[in-house]
């Protein structure tokens, strides 16, 4: 049987599939040529990340497609319900990338707390003409230790991020509409484990208490953070969105930065991908990455092998 991994798959995933007797293609087929490619090459399994979309028209036009697999968490690029109604299997890998996303968020938060995103690019190329000026400009960094991290969305990724925060000496407050409490187990390099119980509180309380705020919610119809939510936050809050573009109102974010409500913010996801608004790209208060939360070798290895084992379980 043939698998098309249109947005790529790890070598470990390819190896596991080939061992199971599958033929794997990692050709990237343009969205508008996908239907023809799938039908002409008799593809049974289509694997995607967030770049390729799998909508109703593709599902209807590819009757022999048995499995649609999302290498990752968010399935907003797939018409999941419709595909399942048509008898197709739709799979994803919800746990595989949590820790990688959490570490990216902390990369941004530590960077923003010490202005690394700007200091890096502004270091003088020649001589020390501006060295002292930069040192002064970036003298008012903050520590994360002892501060409060607000987590909106306390599922796998929110909890993984909270664990990193606890390890860094932060207080964690969290909101999740589907969860009253969670037990977090921190496992250390020497095998020791420490457990923390966290009871979730209201969204409003999280917004009021957070010195740093991170979002781990799925894409939804309305903004989760809009003008009203910014108004509830502490002045000078630092915010990170590695969840989905459209969860934060980008126009309201820029306004909140201009007013000083938000000191700085990190965005890994954008309302317009792959072409974020220029006003975001140019803003010195923003630390930006091109949707790379899950883009680590470790996460992609786990994703590839998990997809392979699910496919083999389903199709044999």
CB atoms within 10 A of CB 293: 22
- Partners of 35 in beta bridges: none
Nearest approach in angstroms of CB 242 to ligand 3PG is 8
Of the candidates 88, 19, 40, 126, the one whose C-alpha atom is nearest the C-alpha of residue 4 is 40
Task: Report in angstroms the alpha-carbon separations of 42 from 36, 51, 133.
Answer: 10, 22, 62
Nearest approach in angstroms of CB 307 to ligand 3PG is 11
Nearest approach in angstroms of CB 10 to ligand 3PG is 12
70 is catalytic: no
Which backbone phi and psi does 126 adopt, to 5 degrees?
A: -125, 135
- C-alpha–C-alpha distance, residues 296 and 101, integer Å: 9
- C-alpha–C-alpha distance, residues 69 and 165, integer Å: 32
Which backbone phi and psi does 306 adopt, to 5 degrees?
A: -65, -45
**Does 174 participate in binding ligand 3PG (rule CB under 6 A)?**
no
291 is catalytic: yes
Binding segment (CB under 6 A) for ligand 3PG, from list 121-129, 144-152, 276-284, 291-299: 291-299
216 is catalytic: no
Nearest approach in angstroms of CB 266 to ligand 3PG is 15
Contact 268, 108 (CB under 8 A): yes
Which of the residues 103, 122, 205, 273 is marked catalytic?
273
Which backbone phi and psi does 187 adopt, to 5 degrees?
A: -110, 130
**Does 246 participate in binding ligand 3PG (rule CB under 6 A)?**
no
- Partners of 47 in beta bridges: 5, 69
Angle in degrees, CA 212, 206, 75, rounded to 5: 80
Q: Which is nearer to ligand 3PG, 294 or 307 (CB)?
A: 294
Nearest approach in angstroms of CB 294 to ligand 3PG is 4
Considering only residues 218 to 237 of the shown chain, the ones binding ligand 3PG according to CB under 6 A are none
Binding segment (CB under 6 A) for ligand 3PG, from list 11-19, 54-62, 65-73, 305-313: 65-73
**Does 105 participate in binding ligand 3PG (rule CB under 6 A)?**
no
Q: Which is nearer to ligand 3PG, 49 or 147 (CB)?
A: 49
- SS3 at position 151: strand
Answer for which of 49, 108, 203, 216 binds ligand 3PG (CB under 6 A) is 49
Binding segment (CB under 6 A) for ligand 3PG, from list 38-46, 69-77, 113-121, 163-171: 69-77
- C-alpha–C-alpha distance, residues 209 and 237, integer Å: 10
Of the candidates 231, 230, 224, the one whose C-alpha atom is nearest the C-alpha of residue 245 is 224
Parallel/antiparallel/unpaired status of strands 67-70 and 148-152: unpaired
Nearest approach in angstroms of CB 218 to ligand 3PG is 9
Which of the residues 49, 117, 244, 264 is marked catalytic?
244
Binding segment (CB under 6 A) for ligand 3PG, from list 9-17, 137-145, 228-236, 292-300: 292-300
Catalytic amino acids? 244, 273, 291
The residues of the shown chain that bind ligand 3PG, judged by CB under 6 A, are 49-50, 71-74, 97, 291, 293-295
């Amino acid at each position: 049987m043939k698998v098309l991994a249109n947005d790529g798959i790890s070598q470990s995933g390819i190896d596991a599939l080939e061992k199971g007797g599958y033929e794997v293609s990692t050709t990237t087929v343009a969205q508008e040529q996908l239907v023809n490619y799938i039908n002409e090459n008799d593809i049974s399994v289509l694997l995607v990340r967030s770049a390729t979309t799998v909508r109703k028209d593709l599902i209807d036009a590819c009757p022999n497609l048995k499995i649609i697999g999302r290498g990752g968490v968010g399935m907003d690029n797939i018409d999941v319900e419709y595909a399942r109604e048509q008898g197709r299997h739709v799979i994803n890998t919800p746990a595989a990338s949590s820790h990688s996303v959490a570490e990216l968020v902390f990369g941004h938060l530590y960077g923003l707390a010490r202005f690394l995103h700007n200091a890096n690019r502004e270091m003088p190329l020649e001589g020390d003409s501006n060295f002292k000026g930069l040192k002064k400009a970036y003298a008012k960094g903050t520590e994360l230790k002892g501060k409060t991290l607000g987590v909106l969305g306390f599922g796998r990724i929110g909890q993984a991020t909270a664990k990193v925060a606890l390890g860094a000496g932060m207080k964690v407050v969290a909101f999740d509409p589907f969860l009253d409490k969670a037990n977090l187990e921190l496992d250390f390099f020497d095998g020791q484990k420490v457990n923390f119980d966290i009871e979730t509180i209201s969204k409003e309380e999280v917004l009021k208490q957070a010195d740093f705020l991170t979002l781990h919610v799925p894409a939804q119809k309305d903004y989760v953070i809009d003008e009203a939510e910014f108004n509830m936050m502490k002045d000078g809050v630092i915010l990170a969105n590695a969840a989905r573009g459209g969860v934060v109102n980008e126009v309201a974010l820029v306004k909140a930065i201009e007013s000083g409500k938000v000191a700085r913010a990190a965005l890994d996801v954008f309302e317009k991908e792959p072409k974020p608004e220029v006003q975001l790209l140019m803003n010195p208060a923003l630390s930006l990455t091109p949707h790379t939360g899950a883009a680590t070798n470790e996460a992609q290895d786990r994703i590839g092998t998990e997809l392979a084992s699910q496919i083999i379980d389903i199709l044999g």
